[in-house]
Amino acid sequence: MKVQSRTTKTKVLLVDDHPIVRQGLARLIAQEPDLEVCGEAADESSAWTQVSAQEPGVVLVDLSLKSGNGLALIKRIRSGYSEMPILVISMHDEVFYVERALRAGANGYLTKEEAGDNVLVAIRKLLAGEIYLSDRLSPTILKRLLTGTGKADESPISRLSDRELEVFQLIGQGLAAQEIAERLHLSFKTIETYQAHIKEKLGLRDIRKLVQYAVRWAMENKELR
């Protein structure tokens, strides 16, 4: 009697704070005979728990999470699992987001607008050991990011560190310093220090100007939910 061999499916972990996005990605992946969704998470902490428990073959990560931060999660995964493929699926197509994601350790970057058509291609590229970038990002930009030559973005926001950018985004979402401190598990004093650094880098005089700038930038980038 001939025994049929079972193909081992590659486990895919979905990390996004929008259930509808996770559901859509899960439906696409479920149609593939060699892929399966092994878990879902909406925040950094639960995502890390799933990574540790499941050790997925590839992780799909959004940069904006319910709590925690996508960039921080990428760095955490990369420090613990150096070979684990990580694909960012984000609403942002600005180059400085792509640059930060790749520097943090992501293997690919895809905009949500293009995810429905390209996510399976992107996953397979990563599993083959290649890097994948959204079609909206030119080969010239990719070369510059990978070689470290040239400036990825001329926006003043690009001057902010990853943590400063996270604080800036939360300010834009209307959170006060104490709320940001609680969200990021940092002290109020530390958040005040970040705010001071942000004001200096953006050339803003006071916290009122910072809030106005952050809210306007958030609205333009659809960062408010």
Could you give the residue range(s) of every CATH 3.40.50.2300 domain in the chain? 10-147
Q: Residue 32 burial by CB count (10 A; 0-12/13-18/19+): exposed, middle or buried?
A: middle
Q: Indicate left, alpha or beta for 105 from its phi (over 0: left) and psi (-120 to 50: alpha).
A: left
Query: Does domain 10-147 fall into CATH 3.40.50.2300?
Result: yes
- Strands of the sheet containing 58-61, edge to edge, are 35-41, 10-15, 58-61, 86-90, 108-111, 132-133
Pick the CATH number of 156-220 from 1.10.10.10, 3.40.50.300, 3.40.640.10, 3.40.190.170: 1.10.10.10
Kind and range of the H or E element at 181? helix 177-184
159 pLDDT band, cuts 50/70/90, is confident
Work out the average pLDDT over 182-191. 90
Query: Residue 217 pLDDT > 80, yes or no?
Result: yes
Q: What is the mean pLDDT of residues 64-73?
A: 87
Using DSSP's 3-state secondary structure scheme, residue 16 falls into coil
Q: What is the pLDDT of residues 109-132, one digit of tens each?
A: 998 888 888 999 999 999 999 999
Single out the residue of 72, 102, 99, 68 nearest to residue 85, CA to CA.
102
Mean per-residue pLDDT over the chain, rounded: 86
pTM: 0.79
Range(s) of the chain covered by CATH 1.10.10.10: 156-220
